[in-house]
Chain A
Amino acid sequence: MAGRSDPTPVDALREAAPDGVDFDGLRVARDDDGFRLAVPDASYDGLSAAEFTDVAREHRAYVENWLFWHAHAPQGDPEWAFLRWVEYADDLTVPERVERLDDGLTREWGQVAVTVRGGDGRRRYDLRHADEADAAPDDLSTYADPHEARRLRTFDDDGDYRPLSTAPTLRHGWAFEALDPGDAVRAVEGFYPATIANWHRERGGTLDVTHWHDAVTRQTGIYGVVRTWDRGEGHDHVNWVAEACCADSQCLKRREWGYDAETPLDADGGEGVFPCREPCSLVVAAARKWTRLESEQSRTYSFDLTPSEKEQLETVVDAVADGRVDGVRDGDTSDGANRFRARFLRAKLFDDDGNLCGVPTDRDA
């Protein structure tokens, strides 16, 4: 509840009545006949101030809900919409929400589970890794400062640096407990920067998408070279970029950009809750590398490989691309990406200069 110096929810509603209230099923007005108040199951007219107070107390869940969203929740449109989404405000009536907020309502935002509790007019928010919704509190490190989230997102469980916040590698072992609504938004934005703003724009039909063509045209300096890799109708390369970088296995954003506004990509955009509105800096940096590599002409090389050796090379590329190398057991020589299998292949097929089958790379032919 509000502190003693704050107006009670009923007082606040009475003060707001002359301007009219129409929110989540609660409608309040004041005219020459007195106060009016309506909720989905009841309606009152011609109330005196004292009668209004009694009626409003009777329907205090609606009154407290109105006050929370107008006095305690952040008033910026994206933050407000996000917190409403967290508690299914578009789907559940006020009494339904009050009942379920006792136990908590949870939404997943990428790998972060956001749980909101409290039906008494206030809300408290818990954040955890979605995998750890049921973990015992003692097993998690608890944080109170929402800005810590942006430090928690910096490294994965192995301690490796995560340059892409929306990579599906969010570390485990942390919890934010009982955050107020503004801090909850700040922590979510710490884990997944700018996602709330762009999600909100998408919901309102105003997401400003910058497609590949426009994004690479904008590049200057050392990145200006990617403009030469912009092939108009022949844009298979952009599909390969998207398949390499923008799959759900690599990034939890849902790609909204295509080659240009008229030309979608074949590669699937993903299932993520937050939209990706333009090629990110990692994609541009990778594309710069591929621009250089793709400027080479192909050559014909001859290698003699057994069928199993060819398949093993394919398996190794797959294993690296899918990031499963660390999961290959040392004793599992049936797996082509097994380290000893790879070492045997190298011992047999590479010459002292590292050339496959002793065939030089021959860059100058």
Chain B
Amino acid sequence: MSEALLIVAHGSHLNPESSAPAQDHADAIRAAGAVDEVREAYWKEEPSLRNALRTVTADAVYVVPLFISEGYFTETVIPRELRLDFDVDDWDSDGTSADVATCTPADVAKTVHYCGPVGTHDAMTDVIVRRAETVTGDPEVGAGVGLAVVGHGTKRNENSAKAVEYHADRVRDRGRFDEVHALFMDEEPEIDDVTDHFASDDVVVVPLFVADGYHTQEDIPADMGIADDAGGYAVPTRLDGHDIWYAGAIGTEALMADVILDRAADAGAAIDREARPGRTPTAAADGD
């Protein structure tokens, strides 16, 4: 039976960068030959979620949400718009443990394996570490360095913070960085006070966001106080006696393509495990 991967992302009416990670990861997965058929669909762009499944040729579709946390989009919007007979109880999740639910869509004769979001997959911890490596240009980064994992945070859904804390805990447990903290834009502890939380001279700041947009390029640098006069930021930026290595949105990290594949493989997709698109380290990020 033929299989397809459908990457589902938010997209934007205003910002073309919003869909760039989904496009880039889809291209990388396709180029690596890991899956025969790779498609994207968006909430705010085209193909819309409502039309997505009819653009897929395969009989079995592995739907992977390119979202950071479980919540309104993964539990309500995406299954509704894909017309899946999904019940969130099928996931039996504690907020970070959703894996897969097998569903039947209402408008096409296909089987949909609806996966949990990439952001809560265990492999995301590796992506955070990789991001710290790429932004510092140091494949051994860790000793003498603090790591801030940054989430949006919202009082409306506790799962938003859970995903961030989950990965911060996992990185901390590895003992590679001197200090690891989860910080947030819209709840305590806040990213505004980033240097209060770290004794280390060097602090790597990795925002758990899918795409680079206003939050990662403007809000967070401004909140931290590293934004320059032009609205950009230098990497690193000297701040209160610390060097702040700000990484930008984690979703643009090439290794994310592997997490997307992990989600599909865990759900039973016949992924060619040798064809891993994200293993080549990316160039160090800059803030321009």
Instruction: Spell out A's residues near B (CB within 8 Å).
Output: 74, 76, 78-79, 147, 150-151, 154-155, 161, 163-166, 189, 193-194, 197-198, 201, 208, 210, 218, 220-221, 277-278, 280-282, 285
Contacts of A281 in B (CB 8 A): 13, 43-45, 48
Inter-subunit contact A194/B14 (CB<8 Å):
no
Contacts of A277 in B (CB 8 A): 51
| B46 is an interface residue with CB less than 8 A from chain A | yes
Q: Separation in Å of the A197 CB from the closest CB of chain B?
A: 4
Inter-subunit contact A193/B57 (CB<8 Å):
no
Inter-subunit contact A161/B15 (CB<8 Å):
yes
Report the Cα distance A150→B77, complex, angstroms: 24
Inter-subunit contact B77/A198 (CB<8 Å):
no
Contact of A194 among B16, B43, B44, B48 (CB under 8 A): B48
Q: Separation in Å of the B88 CB from the closest CB of chain A?
A: 14
Closest A residue by C-beta to B44: A281
| B50 is an interface residue with CB less than 8 A from chain A | yes
Contacts of A197 in B (CB 8 A): 51, 54-55
9 nearest CB pairs, A to B: A193-B47, A194-B51, A197-B54, A163-B13, A193-B46, A194-B47, A165-B46, A161-B16, A76-B57
Inter-subunit contact A163/B45 (CB<8 Å):
yes
14 contacts between A and B (CB under 8 A): A74-B57, A147-B30, A155-B16, A161-B14, A163-B12, A163-B44, A193-B46, A193-B48, A194-B47, A198-B51, A208-B107, A220-B80, A221-B72, A280-B46
Instruction: Spell out B's residues near A (CB within 8 Å).
Output: 12-16, 23, 26-27, 30, 43-48, 50-52, 54-55, 57, 72, 76-77, 80, 107
Contacts of B80 in A (CB 8 A): 218, 220
Report the Cα distance A116→B46, complex, angstroms: 26
Inter-subunit contact B23/A151 (CB<8 Å):
yes
Contacts of B27 in A (CB 8 A): 147
Report the Cα distance A285→B45, complex, angstroms: 12
Inter-subunit contact A189/B55 (CB<8 Å):
yes
Closest A residue by C-beta to B80: A218
Contacts of B55 in A (CB 8 A): 189, 193-194, 197
Q: Separation in Å of the A244 CB from the closest CB of chain B?
A: 15
Contacts of B72 in A (CB 8 A): 221
Report the Cα distance A154→B14, complex, angstroms: 11
Q: Separation in Å of the B167 CB from the closest CB of chain A?
A: 26
Q: Separation in Å of the A235 CB from the closest CB of chain B?
A: 22
Q: Separation in Å of the A72 CB from the closest CB of chain B?
A: 16
Inter-subunit contact A282/B13 (CB<8 Å):
yes
Inter-subunit contact A220/B51 (CB<8 Å):
no
Contacts of A155 in B (CB 8 A): 16
Starting from the known contacts A193-B46, A208-B107, 9 additional A-B residue pairs (CB-CB under 8 Å) come to A150-B23, A161-B16, A165-B45, A194-B55, A197-B55, A221-B72, A281-B44, A281-B48, A285-B13
Contact of B76 among A161, A220, A285 (CB under 8 A): A220
Report the Cα distance A228→B47, complex, angstroms: 27
Report the Cα distance A198→B47, complex, angstroms: 12
Contacts of B12 in A (CB 8 A): 163
Q: Separation in Å of the A304 CB from the closest CB of chain B?
A: 39
The CB with the most chain B CB atoms within 10 A, among A74, A151, A197, A280, is that of: A197
Contacts of B107 in A (CB 8 A): 208
Report the Cα distance A163→B16, complex, angstroms: 8
Report the Cα distance A285→B27, complex, angstroms: 29
Q: Separation in Å of the B57 CB from the closest CB of chain A?
A: 5
Q: Separation in Å of the B29 CB from the closest CB of chain A?
A: 11
Inter-subunit contact A198/B54 (CB<8 Å):
yes
Inter-subunit contact A280/B23 (CB<8 Å):
no
Contacts of A163 in B (CB 8 A): 12-14, 44-45
Contacts of B30 in A (CB 8 A): 147
Inter-subunit contact B48/A280 (CB<8 Å):
yes
Closest B residue by C-beta to A74: B57
Contact of B77 among A193, A194, A221 (CB under 8 A): A221
Q: Separation in Å of the A276 CB from the closest CB of chain B?
A: 10
Report the Cα distance A165→B47, complex, angstroms: 9
Contacts of A282 in B (CB 8 A): 13
Contacts of B76 in A (CB 8 A): 220-221
Closest A residue by C-beta to B38: A147
Report the Cα distance A287→B12, complex, angstroms: 16
Report the Cα distance A165→B57, complex, angstroms: 21
Contacts of B77 in A (CB 8 A): 220-221
Report the Cα distance A78→B56, complex, angstroms: 11
Report the Cα distance A197→B110, complex, angstroms: 15
Closest B residue by C-beta to A165: B46
Contacts of B54 in A (CB 8 A): 78, 194, 197-198, 201
Contacts of B14 in A (CB 8 A): 161, 163
Contacts of B45 in A (CB 8 A): 163, 165, 281
Q: Separation in Å of the B34 CB from the closest CB of chain A?
A: 15
Report the Cα distance A121→B99, complex, angstroms: 47
Report the Cα distance A166→B47, complex, angstroms: 11
Q: Separation in Å of the B194 CB from the closest CB of chain A?
A: 30
Report the Cα distance A164→B48, complex, angstroms: 11
Report the Cα distance A201→B14, complex, angstroms: 31
Report the Cα distance A280→B13, complex, angstroms: 11
Closest B residue by C-beta to A285: B13
Report the Cα distance A151→B40, complex, angstroms: 13
The CB with the most chain A CB atoms within 10 A, among B12, B51, B72, is that of: B51
Q: Separation in Å of the B232 CB from the closest CB of chain A?
A: 20
Inter-subunit contact B51/A193 (CB<8 Å):
yes
Q: Separation in Å of the A282 CB from the closest CB of chain B?
A: 6
Contacts of A161 in B (CB 8 A): 14-16
Contacts of B43 in A (CB 8 A): 281
Contacts of A201 in B (CB 8 A): 54
Contacts of A193 in B (CB 8 A): 46-48, 51, 55
Q: Separation in Å of the B147 CB from the closest CB of chain A?
A: 32
Report the Cα distance A280→B80, complex, angstroms: 15
